[in-house]
Amino acid sequence: MLSQSRLAGLALVLSVIAPAAANADVYYTANFTMGVFGGAANSQPPFSGAIPQGSSYTGSLVFDQTLVPGGGSGFVNVFFSSFPAIGQIPPATALDMPLGSLPAFTLASATEGNAAIQYNNGAFNGLFYISDFTYLGNPYELQIQGGTWDIVAGDINNPGFNYLVSGYINLSLSNITPYTPPPPTPAPAPVPGVGLASLLLLLAALWNKMRRGEAR
């Protein structure tokens, strides 16, 4: 009978040639709504025409059900970067937020990776998101913290804290649908014969070693 150490060695070798296990994480797509608060103070130039007061928009995101915190966990930001398959999910699929006539904000637009889904005791509580962008030649920053968002003058390194647009995110998701990330990009093919020959030699050597051990 093979010893435990020999079984472990064989398992290690077989793991090299066995296909990777399917990702156990469970993904979904969902929609959410966001809008601008009413009142002229909440949509000021130069954005009053592009993002009018009282307007609303439908965004979409992907979430990893495996990473959703449990009840009683309080406020938790689950960053998109923590998704095991995030490298396979297109940025505009992972997170897409249209705001009026401005170019849509996506995961790729997040500054320094500052993008997360926020939960409160396991329930959707909005987003955490920072994006520096330029509009009509001037720098601005979109800031989202939970269920509220603002556009301010300046950027992450030089915020002006002049709130030009202020709005909300509805704290509920709709159209929740299972989502399968695209498969990862295949690794470059090894030189024909070289990798397989080395692996076969390794397996043969391990097999002979185990047989000699059994014969003792």
Using an 8 Å Cβ cutoff, are 142 and 131 in contact? yes
What is the mean pLDDT of each successive set of 10 residues along the chain, which is 216 residues long?
Answer: 44 40 80 96 94 96 97 96 96 97 95 93 97 95 97 82 93 97 76 61 70 61
pLDDT of residue 162: 86
Distances from the Cα of 121 to the Cα of 26, 78, 112, angstroms: 19, 13, 27
Nearest-angstrom CA–CA distance, 34 and 38: 13
pLDDT of residue 196: 62
Using an 8 Å Cβ cutoff, are 75 and 43 in contact? no
Position of tokens 């469970």? 26
pTM: 0.75
pLDDT of residue 16: 40
- Nearest of 146, 59, 65, 50 to residue 94 by alpha carbon: 59
Written as six digits, the tokens of 87 are: 């490298």
